[in-house]
Structure 1
Amino acid sequence: MTSSTHIDVGVIDFDELGAWMDAEGLPGGPITGQAPVLGGTQNVMVRFERGGRPYILRRPPLHTRRKSNEVLRREARVLAALRDTPVPAPRLVAAQTAREPVFYLMEPVDGFNPSTGLPEPHASDPAIRHRMGLEAAAALAELGRVDPAVLPGFGRPEGFLERQVPRWLKELDSYGELDGYPGPDIPGLHETAEWLTRHLPRTFTPGVMHGDYHFANLMFAPDSPRVAAIVDWEMCTIGDPLVDLGWLLAMWPSGNEHVPGLPPPRELVAYYGALSERDMSAIEWYAVMACFKLGIVLEGTHARAFAGKAPQDLGDLLHAATLGLFERAREFMDGALD
């Protein structure tokens, strides 16, 4: 298998896979219907059927990156921990984590991703589209209720919020090692960092965080506004779940592209707050923090473009996105959640 969009399923040893599935006590018989599942992930996903049951196999690319197998181990552990909770996540069937390549089997999700288009009835019903936004907040609140003890040793919740600003300023400083990068030209950078430090929430209740919670990582039910599954758990950790809500706010589609008629951010916050016992009084801080972090992450591609390690047009595009995120941070600092 490769990490390209043209996955040769023939490179998988399906006889070996079948023997492993037998040892796991899964339904036997011939493996049929092998087909790649295409998407933006670097990992490989292949759909197949066996014993009248459909599966998705997820494994690293043939040419693994340094942490590819560890990422899959973490994902499998997270999905196993969430399997018996109400959180909408792909349902793990079994995982092979003892040797590399790591892989796991999950049940296919019956749903669609709104960033690739809307089916009916969603496309023609504004009430469903509005409700989709609220369901995104509801699924996140459900995740925030999970006892972090289900993932012992995951993350470092102590000092989690205090580490954020220094961590991302250090990341930004590291871009200076790239040849040709003149340094960040980001209006509001230092003011935002100072505001975040000054308004740091004093306490929080640790919980399970997705780490990259936004519309592109959600699948919705084909016949309702319900979130069918939260996907791509590789950034999951134990931290402050309100960081996920801030991330959702920072990346909330401006102008409601893809899904017209979504509720405004303030309505999302109110809906999440009604479903959660968490202290929402500093929610602007979390939204500003998300803009700050994401802006710095995107600036990395701009810096790499100066060094010839990324396309210049992509670097320019993401730098413009960074500037927009810091402008949005200023709006959040001024209390404008709408």
Structure 2
Amino acid sequence: MNAPVGIDTEAVTNWIVGLGLSAQPPLSFQRIGNGQSNLTFLVSDPGGNKWVLRRPPLGALLASAHDVLREHRIMSALRNTPVPVPDMIATTDDPDITDAPLVLMSYIDGAVIDDRAVAETLTEDHRRRIGLSLPKALGTIHAIDLESVGLGDLASHKPYAARLLKRWTGQWEKSKTRDVEAVTRVAQALADHAPEQKELTLVHGDYHLSNVITSTSDGDVIGVVDWELCTLGDPLADLGNLLAFWPESTDPVAALSTVPTLPGFPSRAQVIDAYAVATGRDVSAAGYWHTMGLWRLTIIAEGILRRLLNDPRNASRDGGPTAALIDNLSERTLQVGSEAGLL
């Protein structure tokens, strides 16, 4: 097996073996997931033990982005809460081991439904269970007492919509490969219609089907991963992000993933209702946050395209976004924003 890019296998093996985990060399490192940002590896030993290793992407990065040590802090804080997260094991940024920080965590044995072929092997009932479990698990994140877990100082307490607009407009300017008029137009509409923030909760920041691990028996969410965009803000932003990744077969523009369009998966309206029932929250602003989620996703996709142009080794299993896909996303954002009365 070829050595994975971004990992000094000999040095990292020695580090992991020295942690007292009963890890037996030689260790194998396999790139997993379809994530387009931080690189994730399945680490295995000959005895069948498994762990997960995370590191930032390769090449030049935007300031404050891809902070795996911050992810480690967040998941460590959530360990003894109802939020299902892997156990954090160790971190290192020793230059003799790695050129970037590494985080080692436990392996959760379940299914990640990040591929249509995987989803097609499931029954319609199992797909429905998965789809309805996602908003329920999201509610556990938003119920966290920030002070009791030590995350009250994780981020600003100022209105989240304004913070998102400032941050992602800045990211767009730094990473865009060309001008896309819709991005600027939607940003103005989101600024003009920002809802009043009535509560501040932990926000995952990138919550969708590919970033959860589900039970192979009942479809329940048993692990929430990929916390690099986690912050404090309006909980409905997470719901909007989930909706941005939740296409329906009748949508006029192709989505980033078509998995939720398969029979059995609940509709967006059913996902919203499940979240409302699980949390008791007013979800009347869901259309605003759905638009925000798509707008931000367009910018994230453009940033990934920029990283791939700068260093093709960052490509995930499915390659990465194209300019045409990003144009589709921006068109879809205009449509959803119009339906929500923002444009």
User: How far does the alpha carbon of each residue in 1:47-104 deviate from its partner, in whole angstroms, 9 at most, with x for none?
Assistant: 1349985433334568785769971211111110111111122222x22357554333
User: SS at 2:54's partner residue?
Assistant: strand
User: How far does the alpha carbon of each residue in 1:2-29 deviate from its partner, in whole angstroms, 9 at most, with x for none?
Assistant: 9x8567774334334333x14xxx5x47
Long gaps (5+) in structure 1: none
> Counterpart of 1:331?
339
Counterpart residue type for residue 75 of structure 2: L
Counterpart residue type for residue 162 of structure 1: A
> Counterpart of 1:95?
90
- Identity score, percent: 27
User: Does residue 278 in structure 1 map to residue 290 in structure 2?
Assistant: no
Report how many residues are paired.
Answer: 316
- Equivalent of 2:268 in 265, 289, 304: 265
> Counterpart of 1:105?
104
Higher helix share: 1
> Counterpart of 1:288?
291
1-structure distance, mates of 2:283, 2:110: 31
2-structure distance, mates of 1:279, 1:231: 26
Report if aligned partners of 2:159, 2:197 keep a CA contact under 8 Å in 1. no
User: How far does the alpha carbon of each residue in 1:130-150 deviate from its partner, in whole angstroms, 9 at most, with x for none?
Assistant: 121111111111111112222
1-structure distance, mates of 2:188, 2:64: 36
User: Does residue 252 in structure 1 map to residue 246 in structure 2?
Assistant: yes
User: SS at 2:322's partner residue?
Assistant: helix
- Equivalent of 1:134 in 114, 132, 135: 132
> Counterpart of 2:252?
none
2-structure distance, mates of 1:36, 1:95: 19
Counterpart residue type for residue 236 of structure 1: C
Report if aligned partners of 1:154, 1:237 keep a CA contact under 8 Å in 2. yes
User: SS at 2:281's partner residue?
Assistant: coil
1-structure distance, mates of 2:236, 2:122: 32
Report if aligned partners of 2:42, 2:50 keep a CA contact under 8 Å in 1. no
User: How far does the alpha carbon of each residue in 1:272-324 deviate from its partner, in whole angstroms, 9 at most, with x for none?
Assistant: 1111143323222211221232234445678x69xx8699x922332222212
1-structure distance, mates of 2:174, 2:25: 48
- Equivalent of 1:71 in 67, 72, 86: 67
Q: What are the equivalent positions in structure 2 for 1:83-232 lying under 5 Å apart?
A: 83-92=79-88, 94-97=89-92, 99=94, 101=98, 102-117=101-116, 123-149=121-147, 150=149, 151-172=151-172, 181=178, 183-186=179-182, 190=185, 192-232=186-226
Long gaps (5+) in structure 2: 250-256, 313-320
Report if aligned partners of 1:299, 1:318 keep a CA contact under 8 Å in 2. yes
> Counterpart of 1:243?
237
Counterpart residue type for residue 160 of structure 1: Y
Structure with more relative contact order (C-alpha pairs < 8 Å, separation 6 or more): 2
CA RMSD, Structure 1 to Structure 2 (Å): 3.7
Q: Structure 1 residues 142 and 53, CA, compared in 2 at 3 Å: closer, same or farther?
A: same
Q: Structure 1 residues 30 and 132, CA, compared in 2 at 3 Å: closer, same or farther?
A: closer
Counterpart residue type for residue 154 of structure 1: L
Q: Structure 1 residues 30 and 168, CA, compared in 2 at 3 Å: closer, same or farther?
A: closer
